[in-house]
Amino acid sequence: MSQQPLLSVRGLSVEFKRGRRQPFRAVDNVSFDIDRGQTLGLVGESGSGKSTIGNALLGLVKPTAGTVLFEGRGIASLSAAERRSISGRLQVVFQDPYSSLNPSLRVGQIISEPLSVHTDLDQRQRSRAVAEMLERVGLPPSAMTRYPAAFSGGQRQRIAIARALITRPHMVVCDEPVSGLDLSAQAQVLNLLKDLQAEMGLAMLFISHDLAVVRYVAARIAVLLRGKVVEEGTTAKVATAPEHPYTKRLLAASPAPDPVAQHRARELRRQLQAASATLA
């Protein structure tokens, strides 16, 4: 604990106004740390507030309470100009590769946009950097002159990764980056993310509903239920010996490609259900 973590979130809460009704508390007093080069997996079901946490880190929603320290600096409520100064080091890859790329810009323009904001490279240097980055994510340099519509979901997600990494960020928020992809494209993107992480020393907040994916990429896992972290720990512990009943339910529900294991999981599910029924 001698070194301070790259990202440190303490008591983060986000509320959304709902007209005259009680505001909706999407994120409730959440705390976690992410070290340099480390990946924290954030698991939860829809409505658990996992994307809201990501958006709060990125400055897309304003936290109601709590502190977010990034590289020792509070970023919970920055002005637009201050936010700009850190945005080169804190980037994002979103879920939907269709809506996350502007269909009217060429791929080269999309990837070089962060460079034009954060560096004073000239046109030629920028396009060289873009070509390198494209190659790094496994796309040919000729992709630069095409529009996003010409690419498949997996390829678009590579473009989104190239855009996120071109400024060499220290941390990337990955918000369900493989949920919309087929198994084979998912494997390609997950491998790519892991390789780039090892190479660039990236830290990641990896948000997903899929425990199998999170288990594969993350060293630590935080489980989110209705805006609260109910369990946090190393992947080995959370994914094999969970303590919280919700984590147990989540694990029992996640379908494994093994009929015997599925049969056991079904039994376990029924037991858990019966147990919770008797409790209630």
Binding other proteins (rule: CB under 8 A), the pick from 130, 188, 220, 227 is 188
First to last CA, the chain: 42
The answer to whether the beta carbons of residues 81 and 103 sit under 8 Å apart is no
The DSSP annotation for 219-241 comes to SEEEEEETTEEEEEEEHHHHHHS
Q: Which two tokens stand for residue 122?
A: 């000239």
Tell me: does residue 243 bind other proteins (CB under 8 A).
no
Residue 36 CB, shortest distance to other proteins, in Å, is: 19
The mark string for 69-98 relative to other proteins (x by CB under 8 A, - otherwise) is -----------x--xxx-xx-xxx-xxx-x
Residue 72 CB, shortest distance to other proteins, in Å, is: 20
Helix (H, G, I), strand (E, B) or coil at 10: strand
Nearer to other proteins by C-beta: 38 or 91? 91
Residue 49 CB, shortest distance to other proteins, in Å, is: 14
Interaction with other proteins in 199-238: which residues (CB under 8 A)?
209-213, 215-216, 235-236
Ramachandran quadrant class, 14 (left: phi over 0; alpha: psi -120 to 50; beta: rest): beta
User: How many contiguous H segments (helices) and E segments (strands) does the chain have?
Assistant: 10, 10
Ramachandran quadrant class, 138 (left: phi over 0; alpha: psi -120 to 50; beta: rest): left
Tell me the window of 1-9, 10-18, 23-31, 57-65 that interacts with other proteins (CB under 8 A): 57-65
Interaction with other proteins in 99-158: which residues (CB under 8 A)?
99-105, 113-114, 117-118, 135-142, 145-147, 149-152, 154-155, 158
Interaction with other proteins in 1-40: which residues (CB under 8 A)?
none
Nearer to other proteins by C-beta: 11 or 60? 60
Residue 152 CB, shortest distance to other proteins, in Å, is: 5
> Taking the alpha carbons of 237, 242, 243, 246 in that order, is the dihedral positive or negative?
positive
Residue 250 CB, shortest distance to other proteins, in Å, is: 6
Cβ–Cβ contacts within 10 Å for residue 182, how many? 12
Tell me: does residue 162 bind other proteins (CB under 8 A).
no
Nearer to other proteins by C-beta: 34 or 107? 107
- What distance in Å separates the CA atoms of residue 6 and residue 169, rounded to the nearest whole number? 12
Residue 200 CB, shortest distance to other proteins, in Å, is: 12
- What distance in Å separates the CA atoms of residue 231 and residue 34, rounded to the nearest whole number? 16
Binding other proteins (rule: CB under 8 A), the pick from 45, 74, 77, 201 is 45
Tell me: does residue 163 bind other proteins (CB under 8 A).
yes
